[in-house]
Structure 1
Amino acid sequence: MLIQISAGQGSPKECEMACYLFYKELLTEFPDLEVVSTNFSDKQCLKSAVFYSEQDLSFLEGSVQWICQSPFRPNHKRKNWFIDVSILQDKFRFDKDDDIRYEAFRSSGKGGQNVNKVSTAIRAIHIPTGISVVSMDQRSQIQNKKIAYLRLMKKIDEKNSSINKVIQYENWNKHNQLKRGSPIRIYKGLNFEREK
């Protein structure tokens, strides 16, 4: 499971500091967390971080509130700062070699009697996705099977790539979905003491 903490897009320094303090809190609370990536803007200011965990931490998803007078702007009226905790989708991969069905049929075009009488063309179908390709380039069924396999692998790679681009965009877009209000956790003060 991938977990992202984020101060949000264009957030003030206070939110980035809250993100850094929550980052330290998570590493203390869940020592098995593996840090995948971090995006520091300053020494104690974190824009975002991604963790990996074997255990289910979906109960952390939502917003985290930090109630504190701004350490950067002492006369600032605002005292409530929010960060986001999101569960990210992992990269997706279709298993290529499993569940491929091959069908032989008579090809068309040049080839004379061999084309008319022998089933040399091959259709390769990846059963989980329904992707299929055809090869009737060669006069040999074995050669056509190799060509069909290579074409099918290329199409599956393209499908994996397009799905992963969507997942990557959705994960990046979570930075924009910071909700202020109804926090799952509340912390107070510069000591980052948990209230809720």
Structure 2
Amino acid sequence: MKTKIIQLTSAKGPVECAWVVAKILKLFLKELTGNKIAYEILHKEDGLENGTVQSVTIKLKGKELSEFLEGWLGTIQWIGTSTFRKYHKRKNWFIGCYELHQYQQKTISESEIQFQAIRSSGAGGQHVNKVSSAIRAKHIPTGVQVLVMDNRSQHQNKKIAIERLKEKIADYNTGQLKEAIKSEWENHLNLERGNPVRIFTGSDFKQNKRDKSFKTKRNQLKTDLRKQLE
């Protein structure tokens, strides 16, 4: 199972673009369910108007994610009349769908944990200090570490240390994700308004079919080549 983090954003577009994000989000989640891809909404920034979304960050988990996202990543266009400004002349509205490449979720492998046995301190008399039963565990890739001296058994303290490291790594991942979302704010500034990967029209958001077979282009190339050989 692969995991990816996706962001839908209205960029610096007007309120209509935030409305489009809300509509596209529903379609996107529906396709995820249809393709048996699990998802979790990690962060959502609501727009200024009711029913609008400025940006939303989603964690996806499933098989063939790259293939699924080929038809989503990039600029998405909606052609329609503004629902907020009825007489507005603009008919084309753009939003972006991006992958957060900078965020990589850290997982724990025992081979990446450094264990150090140290003497326990505190109540318990002289026997406590004679046995190195406490465990300091450090997750080398992140530098996260814990100190456990709950039991007199070094083995039990080691097991507890691993579990506590998992909890701390989960908090670490949350912090890293927040930083990634902040750094991806450039997506809100650099939305390309050409060559959309998907085009929707009307209030029902009917998708415009696009010819991906390139059959017409191939036929044209064959015709041009034939003329050159004549």
Residues 28-79 of structure 1: CA distance to partner in whole angstroms, max 9, x if unpaired?
5442455633657524x34344363414034222221223342322333433
The match for 1:169 among 179, 182, 191 is: 179
Within 2, Cα distance between the matches of 1:19 and 1:87?
16
Read off the aligned partner of 2:10 and give its amino acid letter.
A
TM-score (norm 2): 0.53
**Contact 2:20 2:95 survives alignment (8 Å):** yes
TM-score (norm 1): 0.59
Within 2, Cα distance between the matches of 1:8 and 1:58?
19
Read off the aligned partner of 2:105 and give its amino acid letter.
F
**Contact 2:118 2:132 survives alignment (8 Å):** yes
The match for 1:187 among 193, 199, 213 is: 199
Question: Secondary structure of 1:42's match?
Answer: coil
Aligned residues: percent identity? Answer: 17
Within 1, Cα distance between the matches of 2:146 and 2:26?
51
Q: Which residues in structure 2 correspond to 1:20-169 (within 5 Å)? A: 20-30=22-32, 31-32=34-35, 33-34=37-38, 36-37=40-41, 39=46, 41-43=49-51, 45-49=52-56, 50=58, 52-54=60-62, 55-56=64-65, 57-59=68-70, 60-88=72-100, 92-95=105-108, 98-99=110-111, 100=113, 102=115, 126=138, 128-129=140-141, 161-169=171-179
Which structure is higher in RCO with an 8 Å CA cutoff and minimum separation 6? Answer: 1
Counterpart position of 1:15:
17
Per-residue deviation at 1:167? 1.9
Within 2, Cα distance between the matches of 1:83 and 1:15?
6
Residues 70-106 of structure 1: CA distance to partner in whole angstroms, max 9, x if unpaired?
232233343332212123477834427x235556799
**Contact 1:21 1:192 survives alignment (8 Å):** no
Per-residue deviation at 1:5? 1.9
Within 2, Cα distance between the matches of 1:67 and 1:180?
16
Read off the aligned partner of 1:16 and give its amino acid letter.
A
Unmatched 5+ stretches in structure 1: 107-114
The structure-2 alpha-carbon separation of the partners of 1:79 and 1:159, relative to structure 1 and needing over 3 Å to count, comes to same
Unmatched 5+ stretches in structure 2: 120-128, 211-230
Within 1, Cα distance between the matches of 2:22 and 2:114?
51
Q: How many residues align?
A: 186
**Contact 1:69 1:76 survives alignment (8 Å):** yes
Q: CA RMSD in A?
A: 4.7
